[in-house]
Structure 1
Amino acid sequence: MAKLVSKVYGDALFETAMEKELVDTLYEETSALLPILQDNPELFSVLGNPQIVKEEKVTLLHQVFSGKIAEELMGFLSIIVEKDRQNEMISILEYFIQRVKEFKKIGAAYVTSAVELGAEQKAALEKRLLETTGYVQFEMHYDVDASLLGGMVIRIGDRVVDSSIKTRLYELKKELSALQLA
């Protein structure tokens, strides 16, 4: 249910952003707003308190965010509270951010290597990923796992490219085991 709510509301915000040509502005603002909301559970306890009337909750939102975010986003947050969807506010904004990234063709690549990659290697890898995918930009996330022994594992969405020595050794072991049984 929460996934459906975040999709419906996130799509509504995306459509508004498209209509009013505010995609970049609302993307930047929601990207900045999201960590603020995630780091302040007290705000959600107040917004979710059934003893506080909706008008007071909306007034609180205006006091906190008015003048700091676009009127469209302020109005959107007010609607979320008025419709008692404040518990899904974070997932709604996360969905919107993801939707904008898809629209702008911004991908997220998770790279795990056996050793720390240098700046040149990272730049070459990102360039190669841009050439071989439909994305125009990547958010690169790097991690080191010495157990890979060499090579790297790259995950983009649900696609995984595993060129690690650890995996190659495992596959070789499986092939050799199959030969011995035959």
Structure 2
Amino acid sequence: MAELTTLARPYAKAVFAEAQEKNALDAWSDSLTTLAAYAADANMAKVLVHPSLTASQQAQALIDVCGEKLNEAAKNLVNVLAENKRLPLLTEIAALYEEYKAELQNTVDVVVTSAFALSDEQSEKLAQALKAKLQRDVRMSSEVDESLIGGAVIRAGDLVIDGSIKGKLSKLAEAMNS
């Protein structure tokens, strides 16, 4: 995974710089999301690495599938990635781009996994608390995982806060076994 990130980083930085220069952060975000979704498809992934296809054929196949959703700059990116045999990196490039965009906009995506669905009031209070702690605007999404028993697990980038009963029981079991 770290190797993929290392390979994808220069492309993501170049796209991000282009997007900033042209004031097209959202347009690039949409294009990269589209490209990553198609590149992640199992059938398309086979085409993108098929040894009998030339780089331009691989690029054209992806561009054709995306149709009108790509502008010329995004098509150029696909061609450059194909020439350098980097088309399978599209999902990683898109993820890195979104990280750079969130940092620029001072936002963070937070995923809250709880044992029970959060009420609107709970979600709002949690979002405000996280905004104060992280000093960023918070875009929050919720998931339900009944195996947590109670509490919640909060993921914001690299930060993970495990306040679940399941997590606390696991820590207790680990402490008792050592």
Task: Give 1:77 deviation, angstroms.
Answer: 1.1
User: Does residue 31 of structure 1 match 2:48?
Assistant: no
TM-score, with length taken from structure 1: 0.77
Aligned with 2:23 (options 15, 21, 24):
21
User: Does residue 99 of structure 1 match 2:100?
Assistant: yes
> Is the alpha carbon distance of 1:144 and 1:58 closer, same or farther for their aligned partners in structure 2, counting shifts above 3 Å?
closer
State which structure, 1 or 2, has the greater radius of gyration over its C-alpha atoms. Answer: 1
Task: Give 1:59 deviation, angstroms.
Answer: 2.9
User: Does residue 4 of structure 1 match 2:3?
Assistant: no
CA contact (8 A) 2:110 2:141 kept: yes
> Which residue is equivalent to 2:157?
157
> Is the alpha carbon distance of 1:49 and 1:117 closer, same or farther for their aligned partners in structure 2, counting shifts above 3 Å?
same
CA contact (8 A) 2:108 2:136 kept: yes
> Is the alpha carbon distance of 1:32 and 1:120 closer, same or farther for their aligned partners in structure 2, counting shifts above 3 Å?
farther
Query: What is the SS of the residue equivalent to 1:52?
Result: coil
* Structure 1 stretch displaced more, 153-162 or 81-90: 153-162
Task: Give 1:7 deviation, angstroms.
Answer: 0.7
TM-score, with length taken from structure 2: 0.78
CA contact (8 A) 2:11 2:93 kept: yes
Task: Give 1:62 deviation, angstroms.
Answer: 3.5
* Structure 1 stretch displaced more, 25-34 or 155-164: 155-164
Aligned CA RMSD, in angstroms, stands at: 2.9
CA distance in 1, matches of 2:76, 2:174: 59
> Is the alpha carbon distance of 1:170 and 1:83 closer, same or farther for their aligned partners in structure 2, counting shifts above 3 Å?
closer
Structure 1: tracts of 5 or more residues without a match: 176-182
User: Match for 1:16: what amino acid?
Assistant: E
User: Match for 1:67: what amino acid?
Assistant: E
Q: Deviations over 1:75-129 (max 9, x none)?
A: 1111100111122222222222222222222312232334322122112221222
> Is the alpha carbon distance of 1:33 and 1:137 closer, same or farther for their aligned partners in structure 2, counting shifts above 3 Å?
farther
User: Match for 2:57: what amino acid?
Assistant: E
CA distance in 1, matches of 2:157, 2:70: 30
The size of the alignment, in residue pairs, is 173
